[in-house]
Structure 1
Amino acid sequence: MKVAILGGSGKTGRAVGAALARTGVATRPLGRAAFDDLPAALAGADAVHVIAPNLHPDEPSYVAAVLAAAAEAGVGRVGYHSVASPYAPAMPHHLGKAVSEDLVRRSGLAWTILQPCAYVQNLLPAVRSARPSGVVEVPYAVDTLFGMVDLQDVAAATAVVLTGGEHAGATYELGGPALVSVADVAAAAGVAARRVPAGDDVHPWLRAMFDYYDAHGLPTGGVPLRALLDRAPASVEQVLARDLAR
């Protein structure tokens, strides 16, 4: 089996590629240059996993182009990396993923949609900067709850769904084993956490996301990920112990 990964050179794409490689699956990481001739770039692949660039200004067009090329190239299987709570009207980039999910579902291909919560790894740079004693600073509330998830677990689950036919037509929300706050993550790392205002140069979509996090966090369930992995997802403490040691 061979899987093409759009966005394969990014953080998520590299993790997915590594997880697939551990199962013996050949991968083909693709970047922006692939859009010069997408059908040719996808030729010979059995499946394609679509990871759009962060804050893509028109993610539905990006996804539609990949779906059309996949159909032209005879790729029968597609995975789409969406986001937890895609239909959240207050967050424009989430809505872009909601529209893209609809395109995937109507593509005529065998599809699986993954909706991961924020990665624990997103906070690692701030944690490293704050240690051994200090404060993790984020531009949103530190006490609202998230289903923060391990990127490596998300990648492993992606490998499972791309290589197993029983996942066609499924949508999986991927959260960690417990709801946690930024303050919880900081405490697990032995530091404190506080909210700081976002700068004036912050992308308006990010500012909207921070406002949403202030009010609601991003709670996400962990049952689907546990089922896909056939084990408990990694806890915040386990992720920190593993990744901070690197």
Structure 2
Amino acid sequence: MIVVTAAGGRTGLAVVRALRERGEDVRAVVSRRGPRPELTELGAEVVRAELTQPLPWSEVLAGADAMYLIWPNFDPDEAEGAPALFREARRAELPRLVYHSVLRPQLRAMPHHAAKDVAEEALDASGLPSWRVLQPCAYADNLDDELPEVVARGELRSLWGVRTAQSLVDVRDVAQAAVALLTEDGLDGGTFEAAGPEPLTAPRIAELISARVGREIVAEDVVPGGEVPTAYAARCRRTMFDHYRVHGFTGSPRVLTDLLGRPPRSYAEHLADLDLPVEVLPDDEPA
């Protein structure tokens, strides 16, 4: 039995699906009551538990072989909450824990990176018998919801500028890497980067979308205005895009390639799997 937290989110659902495809039993942890057909249809056992309330975790972890700990995005409780759960996992004698971190958590300019850096330090000192860390870059999937509008208006609006690049990774590849860390031996105490195969500027992403849908897409630089917000989640988003604008956010795909046993999906391959409106030129028009 493998426990997956934040199982109703993008990452959690992908990890649950990948584990179930391997035939693993999964206990999917969610924070809100109510039906979760996306999880129950995969055959997962769905349980409700709050990440910041450790009291019921002995029951959640009972009989588990491993846990994949995902903390919700831009949550201010991660720096304290994740180490508390490491302690609960040790008390429950959990055989293995994999922590979902981020590429370059040491970037203190971004609060949500700094929180994961603190959590990684606590994990190293946790006394857990087997732990591993996965550090993904930004997801290719993060752009998916806005793609129909991008195609409709012919414009990709980039909050991170048009000069610096990102190494976008497909969340399915992140999930497959998580499965390897959860189930394979010989990886204890390791931190593993999960970066996409190529550096992509916003204009390059626009070119790839153009090739996929058959119409011109241009990248537009959208510069955030005003002061950096004080609310935690908004501040995380703003400082993240400000950092990307100046420095980019790229990494090497070599570690992920080794975990997957193949190269990670390119952004073009990611786009090929999406249901996007494609323009087809009439036969009497030149290509």
TM-score where L is the length of structure 2 = 0.81
Distance 1:243 1:151 in 2: 13
Q: What corresponds to 1:118 in structure 2?
A: 138
Distance 1:108 1:157 in 2: 24
Cα RMSD of the aligned pairs, angstroms, is 1.7
Deviation sequence 1:138-177 (CA, Å, 0-9, x none): 3221331111111100101110110001111111111111
Distance 1:211 1:173 in 2: 22
Query: Deviation of residue 74 (structure 1)?
Result: 1.9
- More helix per residue: 1
Match of 1:227 among 254, 258, 261: 258
Distance 2:16 2:177 in 1: 12
After TM superposition, where is structure 1 displaced by more than 4 Å over at least 4 residues in a row?
199-202
TM-score where L is the length of structure 1 = 0.94
**Runs of at least 5 residues in structure 2 that lack an aligned partner in the other structure:** 32-47, 211-216, 278-287
Aligned AA (1:76): P
User: Retained in 2: the 8 A contact 1:17–1:27?
Assistant: yes
Tell me if 1:42 matches 2:61: yes
**SS of 1:172 mapped into structure 2:** strand
User: Retained in 2: the 8 A contact 1:47–1:162?
Assistant: yes
The alignment of Structure 1 onto Structure 2 pairs a total of residues equal to 245
Tell me if 1:198 matches 2:224: yes
Q: What corresponds to 1:52 in structure 2?
A: 71
Tell me if 1:89 matches 2:108: yes
Single out whichever of 67-76 and 193-202 deviates more from structure 2.
193-202
Q: Pairwise mapping of residues 157-172 of structure 1 onto structure 2 (< 5 A)?
A: 157-172=177-192
Distance 2:264 2:106 in 1: 25
Aligned AA (1:34): A
**Runs of at least 5 residues in structure 1 that lack an aligned partner in the other structure:** none
Q: What corresponds to 1:8 in structure 2?
A: 7
Match of 1:180 among 181, 197, 200: 200
Query: Deviation of residue 198 (structure 1)?
Result: 3.1
Question: Larger Cα Rg: Structure 1 or Structure 2?
Answer: 2
Query: Deviation of residue 244 (structure 1)?
Result: 3.5
Aligned AA (1:13): G
Query: Deviation of residue 245 (structure 1)?
Result: 5.2
Distance 1:198 1:52 in 2: 27
Query: Deviation of residue 133 (structure 1)?
Result: 5.1
| Identity level (%) | 35
Distance 1:227 1:161 in 2: 12
Tell me if 1:101 matches 2:101: no
User: Retained in 2: the 8 A contact 1:119–1:151?
Assistant: yes
Aligned AA (2:60): A
